[in-house]
Amino acid sequence: MAVNEMAKLTLGPIAYHWSAEERRDFYFRIADEAPVDEVYLGEVICSKRAPFHEADLPTLIERLEQAGKTVILSTLAEVMLKRERKATAEIASMDTPEIEINNAAGLYERAGRPHRVGPFMNAYNEATIAWMAGQGATHVSLPCELPASAIRVAAQSAKDLGIGAEVQVFGRASLAVSARCYHARAHGRTKDNCQFVCEQDRDGMPLRTTDDRPILRVNGIQTQSESYVDLLPELDRLVADGVTHLRLMPQAVDMVSVAAVFHSVLRGAIAVDEAEAMLRGICGEVAFSNGYYYGEAGYRRVASAASS
């Protein structure tokens, strides 16, 4: 695979309710060891969790920036309550670091000043991307369900507009968000009285069908794929099609090693087959999927036609 200096490896925001201590350890290690270029921080899923770890944000930002990483602060995907509106407005008012907006409320608050558009913003097509760029977007994260044909057109339009285009290449796909907390529901509680049971599931709460087939993961108000998206074999085509940023979503596995594998493939240092075997070793039993890329059911694993 060709060396491509242009494509950057990013680490998406932690979707789960990991404790403040776990988060600190996680990001310190990312700063010190992970070959990622950019790190997204902040609580994207549940506004109730934010108070547990937002006090650490300045320290983490400083530490990551010192390690040469670009830090971007992400806003909530769902904005409904007063505290969610306030949190969004606060981030939208910041000059540094860069921000990634995940809800139209944030776009309103940002009022045309530069920002990134997050994966929850439905930047599905060139017209929407052009509109967003005209309103200050410097970068768009594409929806996880876009097939390769649409990624190509979207990334090209982003390139023409002079903005970045990002695709998730590793980790559980975000399939849905809701106003209701399914973690709380599973434990017979309501969202207001959840007692943060989501903290128990560092990689999401598994749901299986009644005939015992793994299907989905619950993460508070979010529903995720059971499988980890893995686009290692597709990296070269993504880059060739103009995708500028490749996102790894933090899962409860050794993310430093995951980043190292993706980085090695991007640099052309190891073959895809070898990298796949390494990734399998890091992630254990979990299913890998790339169905969305091929326009098929997202959970599917399609054999890559062009894996080198």
Considering only residues 153 to 192 of the shown chain, the ones binding another protein according to CB under 8 A are 153-154, 157, 173-182, 185-187, 190-192
**CA–CA separation, 142 and 164 (whole Å):** 10
Among 114, 149, 240, 274, binds another protein (CB under 8 A): 149
User: Binders of another protein among 78-117, rule CB under 8 A?
Assistant: 78-80, 84-85, 88-89, 103-109
Rounded to a whole number of angstroms, the minimum distance from the CB of residue 102 to another protein is 10
Cβ-proximal residues to 201 (8 Å cutoff; 6+ apart), any chain? 16, 183, 217, 218, 219
# residues near another protein by CB under 8 A: 77
Please check whether residue 159 is in contact with residue 165, taking contact to mean a CB–CB distance below 8 angstroms: yes
Among 5, 66, 209, 305, binds another protein (CB under 8 A): 209
Using rule CB under 8 A, residue 125 touches another protein:
yes
**CA–CA separation, 206 and 217 (whole Å):** 5
**CA–CA separation, 30 and 36 (whole Å):** 8
Rounded to a whole number of angstroms, the minimum distance from the CB of residue 44 to another protein is 12
Cis check for the bond before 214: say yes or no (omega within 30 of 0). no
The neighbouring-strand residues paired with 248 are: 11, 170
User: Binders of another protein among 278-297, rule CB under 8 A?
Assistant: 291-292, 295-297
**CA–CA separation, 32 and 60 (whole Å):** 12
Using rule CB under 8 A, residue 151 touches another protein:
yes
Report the residue number, 129 or 261, with the smaller CB distance to another protein. 129
Rounded to a whole number of angstroms, the minimum distance from the CB of residue 224 to another protein is 10
Among 56, 145, 199, 254, binds another protein (CB under 8 A): 145
Report the residue number, 9 or 44, with the smaller CB distance to another protein. 44
Which among 44, 40, 13, 49 has a CA at the least distance from the CA of 171? Answer: 13
